[in-house]
A = this chain, B = another copy of it.
Amino acid sequence: MSHNSFGHLFRFTSWGESHGPAIGCVVDGCPPLIPLAESDIQPFLDKRRPGQSRYTTQRQEADQVRILSGVYPDQTGVQVTTGTPIALQIENTDQRSKDYAEIAKTFRPGHADLTYERKYGIRDPRGGGRSSARETAMRVAAGAIARKVVPGLTIRGSLVQIGPHAIDRDRFDWDEVDRNPFFCADAKTAEIWADYLDGIRKSGNSVGAVVEVVAEGVPEGLGAPVYGKLDSDIASAMMSINAVKGVEIGAGFSAAELTGEQNADEMRMGNDGKVLYGSNNAGGILGGISTGQPVVARFAVKPTSSILIPRSSVTRDGENTDVITKGRHDPCVGIRAVPVGEAMLALVIADHYLRHRAQTGAGGGK
């Protein structure tokens, strides 16, 4: 059991605090002979990196990843994984010198300040310490490796709701995701969000969001019933991301309103001998095992707790106080959660790909 490790066979362990000298992770169990260079990882980190638009925190981190172990040139000179642990590391370069004494004394509402203090009797208050969203950079880095483990796997994500504004599914277009600062698959909704978020930001407020992540090319048969179900592990993965308060698969909560007749994903044989489905309310998973349809998950991200509007709180010494959180914060932390959600989905699927291969000998599917 390891509090800071994720996965079982494809497994990574992260470490580091927001304002320590570095953050890092160790990826263990990766299959050997997979081509891997820093340039395979960096683009995903760049996507998550803050300061790229006015809608995310202006904190500047280069987030340059280094691979410190677990790779070596093969006989053709291509650097590949060797099957030994892959250590990844990012220096923290933007730790502003600042007096944390005041922050250390106050418990900010919606933050982990109080709970870390009560659990451990101590916390690193600088930038949120271990509870900072900065930790998610290592998820993205590890996820970039996970993506390379399963042949034919494609994982994409889109922000599908900000505050009261959800996207229009009829306009959903994956190609739009990289054309706006919200990772939004619906160009028109992205425009609405731009206006809306400007207002939120200027008022010193923040707002929640919903992220959708989709995996295509998932082989049939991944998932290990009954306590290692694919959807159970996806739920755990998404809920472990900072600020996430809900996870759903396929039809999700709307399935509660459906009848069995409506919810059934009817099947027909395709011409190629593969099963065709009339719908995907199951989100690609039945009985905890992948069907071969796209795996679809959504998760709700609460509004950033750091806002400029004063909120009642208490101090470590038991005094009442009011808190305003100055600094460089995301008005909608859900935006940068998109690449993180993608990474977590990749990590779950890579892990189950190896678990399935262990028990059945299959390369995944048959």
Q: Identify which of residues 5-63 in chain A touch chain B, using a CB-to-CB cut-off of 8 Å.
A: 5-6, 8-9, 11, 13-17, 20-24, 26, 28-33
Interface membership of A131, Cβ < 8 A: yes
10 pairs, A vs B, C-beta closer than 8 Å: A13-B85, A16-B69, A33-B121, A82-B124, A82-B129, A112-B287, A115-B290, A256-B301, A256-B302, A258-B303
A72's partner among B24, B82, B124, B206 (CB-CB below 8 A) is B124
**Mask of A296-337 contacts with B, CB within 8 angstroms, 1/0:** 000011111111010111100011100000000000001000
Cα–Cα, bound, A7→B280 (Å): 31
Task: Please measure, in the bound complex, the distance between the C-alpha atom of A125 and the C-alpha atom of B122, giving whole angstroms.
Answer: 44
A163 nearest CB neighbor, chain B only: B257
Knowing A163-B257, A232-B236, A236-B232 are in contact, say whether A115-B264 is a contact too (CB < 8 A): no
Convert A163-181 into 0s and 1s, putting 1 for each residue whose CB lies closer than 8 angstroms to a CB of B: 1100000000000000000
Within 8 Å of chain B (Cβ to Cβ): is A360? yes
Beta-carbon contact of B314 and A268 below 8 Å: yes
Q: Which of B1, B82, B257 contacts A208 (CB 8 A)?
A: B257
- Chain B residue nearest to A123 (CB atoms) is B82
Q: Is A240 an interface residue (CB 8 A)?
A: yes
**Bound-state Cα–Cα, A339 to B69, Å:** 25
Residue from A122, A131, A273, A301 whose CB has the most chain B CB atoms within 10 Å: A122
Contact of A313 among B74, B224, B226, B266 (CB under 8 A): B266
Q: How far is the CA of A4 from the CA of B22 in the complex (A)?
A: 22
**CB pair B359 A31 closer than 8 Å:** yes
Most chain B CB within 10 A, of A66, A232, A300, A302, is at A302
Expressed in whole angstroms, the Cα–Cα distance for A128 and B82 within the complex equals 13
A234–B232 Cα distance when bound, in Å, is 10
Chain A 193-223, CB within 8 Å of chain B: the 1/0 string?
A: 0000000100001111110000000001111
Contact partner of A302 (CB less than 8 A), chosen from B118, B122, B161, B251, is B251
Q: How many residues of A contact B (CB 8 A)?
A: 157
Additional A-B contacts beyond A110-B286, A264-B307 (14; CB < 8 A): A1-B11, A9-B355, A15-B84, A32-B359, A72-B122, A82-B124, A83-B359, A109-B265, A206-B259, A208-B259, A246-B247, A260-B309, A268-B314, A268-B320
* Contact between chains at A161 and B205 (CB < 8 Å): no
Q: Taking each of A200, A253, A266, A306, which has the highest tally of chain B beta carbons within 10 Å of its own beta carbon?
A: A253
Cβ of B264 and Cβ of A3 under 8 Å apart?
A: no
Of all chain B residues, the one with the shortest Cβ separation from A87 is B15
Q: Is the CB of B210 within 8 A of A286?
A: no
Give chain B residues whose Cβ lies under 8 Å from the Cβ of A300.
Answer: 248, 252-256
Which residues of chain A from 95 to 128 have any CB-CB distance to chain B below 8 Å in the complex?
A: 107, 109-112, 114-116, 118-124
